[in-house]
Amino acid sequence: MTREYLKKATLTAKSDASEVHETVKSILADIEAGGDDKALEYAARFDGYEGAILLNDDDIAAACAQVPDKLKADIDFAHDNVRRFAETQKATVSDVQLEIVPGLIAGQKAIPVDAVGCYVPGGRYSHVASAIMTVTTAKVAGCRHITACSPPRPGVGIAPAIVYAAQRAGADKILAMGGVQGIASMTFGLFGLPRANILVGPGNQFVAEAKRILYGRVGIDMIAGPTDSLILADGGADPEIVATDLVSQAEHGYNSPVWLVTDNRSLAEEVMTLVPALIDDLPEVNRDNAFAAWRDYAEVILCADREEMAATSDAYAPEHLTVQAADLDWWLDRLTCYGSLFLGEETTVSYGDKAAGTNHVLPTSGAASYTGGLSVHKYMKIVTWQRATREGSKPVAQATARIARLEGMEGHARAADVRLAKYFPGENFDLSADG
């Protein structure tokens, strides 16, 4: 490989690994032991909020009334796109059955989980889109109960647009609680909620650590790190659009890596020249994040050709992967490791983040090398079943008995023996391990 780093990151996502485990573990233990009252204590301490914890119909209606009609229409548009894409995904999973041998039928059944907890960030940014992405897909999957949980702001509560998006997407309950206490409340079934079977949605490092600790007791979508994005661009790409797209993702957080991989030095150099001014032009609340992310975590990599570019991208396994290069079909066929792929200048990660229909809850920190993002399938258990006639069970019982004895598992073998003896009295079977 002949990669040349025109800009090299000085830090990685792991460089900022905070010592939050013990803090989160302690809070979870306190809330599990203390129940509703202890969760309320932490809400008052961390959220600075003492209003309604579970929103009733009047609370929801009042919040929705504050949302401008134009914004409601945009949320409805995004929800419809996400819903229709999730419905298409769901159609790819069906109940099936197969006669394995004559008289033995095995099947697959897709069963939605019962109760879902959807965490919707609402601190620095009001993540309206996260409510749409997480709740809508759970609703399409057929989950019986969906709780949307979002941090309230002191004296205000949950951002009205998040409330509108959550109820529009189909949330059964909306919980005004942030951070670890919100995750704990959904997991432990506080405030009259059902215990969540799965927790989904992005969040800060405390939310991510709470999900990590609870995983096993409850399912999770994934263990998420800082969001990351990679752009593959050739000499035909527009430097301003490439630079703008990099900055748009860097604003997520001070430790959100963005990477440019190209085979054109002139493009790379122009993009590096453009980025600082684009960051300076952002509002102050966004500027600091983007500046730190570009300074400490961003990389610009020059490759020899498109094959080396693709190999570099697959090695990084980015959460978001954009291709602004010729022959998009080649890239679609060649690339294998990404959370979500954006082909051509006419689309952008921002579309996927907000309204295009694909889900924005995606694997980070290289996890795209082995998993995809949140989808309707995450809420569904693919289970199997079998049924047999006595004749159908005969060859399976014989094979089972012999394999089990070879493994030294006599109890398993006898479960087959007893059936053969009952169903086929008088027949002699050679069920020893050596056949």
Question: For residue range 206-220, what is the model confidence (pLDDT) as tens digits?
Answer: 999 999 999 999 999
Is 381 a domain residue? no
Of 221, 254, 272, at which residue does a domain stop? 221
* Helix or strand (DSSP H, E) at 72: helix 69-90
| Phi, then psi, of 249 in degrees rounded to 5 | -90, -30
Is 379 a domain residue? no
Rounded to 5°, the CA angle 419-421-422 comes to 65
141/211 same-domain check: yes
The domain tally of the chain equals 3
CA distance 141 to 118: 14
Whichever domain contains 156, its CATH number is 3.40.50.1980
158/241 same-domain check: no
Domain interval for residue 324: 226-372
Quote the pLDDT of residue 1. Answer: 55
398/348 same-domain check: no
CA distance 323 to 234: 9
Residues annotated as catalytic are 319-320
Contact 161, 126 (CB under 8 A): yes
180/207 same-domain check: yes
Quote the pLDDT of residue 18. Answer: 61
CA distance 193 to 172: 10
191/236 same-domain check: no
212/245 same-domain check: no
Is 288 a domain residue? yes
Residues of the chain with pLDDT under 70: 1, 13-18, 435
- Tell me the two tokens of residue 221: 């979508």
Quote the pLDDT of residue 208. Answer: 93
246/348 same-domain check: yes
Of 196, 221, 246, at which residue does a domain stop? 221
62/118 same-domain check: yes
